[in-house]
Structure 1
Amino acid sequence: MTVIPFLRKLCATLLSKLKCIPSALWRWIKGIMRSLHILWQSLGPRWLRVMLVLSVALVIGWHQAKIFLAPNLTRETIYEVRYLNEGWTPFQRQSFYYTPQGTELLGIEYQWFINLELPLSDEMLASADNMRGWGFIIDPGQRPDNLNPGNLPVGLGRHLDPKSGKERLDIGCAACHTGELHYQGTALRVDGGQAVQSLSNAKRGE
């Protein structure tokens, strides 16, 4: 019968310990807050502490804004391009890709387009990685040449606007009628095939 008194005593002890936990926890929290307050005051005068908080908030805001404004891209690396046996010479293919045809996209100026940077960044909007990530076709290791001095994707060129005398971004047939199938870093180019970008549906502000 001595077990029952022992259990009663054990339960009473546990209850007393549990009652002490909230007060001990509260004292611990108050101690932490007091330490943080002392540390905050030790940083210097009030104006310096305010500037410190604003600087930290600015850095965090800048970082979050860059993440929010970063382009939504499909990251993919192409190492090799293979072509269907269509009987085209390289010059004929490049001529189809970059010969201007007079079609414009919202009157965008050529120099403006090739020099435009991404928001809060010095990265070019029309860089090879970005344009490929939006579904445009760019050869691996592509470099500027006479037909494509801006090193733009297939189907994007330039023509002279007769009214303004300025070069405008030219949209050729190849932009929408050249496709690729990708598999493990290899691209199968289909000249005359369906493109995967939605350039024809572009609207102002997009």
Structure 2
Amino acid sequence: MASDADPVQDFCIPNTNFTHTRTSHFHILPCKNTAEVTPEDFIFTGIKSPGNFTDMGFAGISVTSNTFPGLNTLGMSFARADLKKGGVNVPHIHPRATEVAYVVKGSVYSGFVDSANRVFAKVIEEGEVMVYPRGLMHFQMNVGKSTATIVGSFNSQNPGIQRIPNALFGSGARDELLEKAFGMTPRQVSTIRRKFLPRK
């Protein structure tokens, strides 16, 4: 089964000039007239360079139909991830997509955890590919001596992402729950929570 519905036409470049009426409940833009579609609608240049690096040494650029209209209705999206030496793409899930990750350069400790809590992980090198099944928690860590680059592809135009540390410690879940779930003291929970508070 496909993650997204099969397209019923060759392509659908969203018509960004369309304005909704007050009675409209649709969040999907209609397609451009095919006579107005150009080759540029199917080309994206926004992943030539890394994005902005986080404190974890990770820079990610997500490319969906919102940023690349040529992907609209095609049931796919992709991302560029760069990891500084020792950088981590924290454990996370994509609830609506399977991901295939291709190592463009570097050495990356990469893996996922299945629903029986078995970890499937190893170091993958430049030119190698790993797949992360839909909805399973997965991660990457640069174990090489220089910046690593990965390109990921998803079988959904909106795969979604939920980063596990942010979901647990940045969501507002009760401290008592986190203390019991992880065997932590209130002080430890408070220390970790501060890392996920919005910066002023």
Decide: shared fold, TM above 0.5: no
Q: Relative to total residues, which structure has the larger strand share, 1 or 2?
A: 2
Bigger Rg, structure 1 or 2: 1
User: Please, what TM-score do these two structures have when normalized by structure 2?
Assistant: 0.22
User: Please, what TM-score do these two structures have when normalized by structure 1?
Assistant: 0.22
Q: Relative to total residues, which structure has the larger helix share, 1 or 2?
A: 1
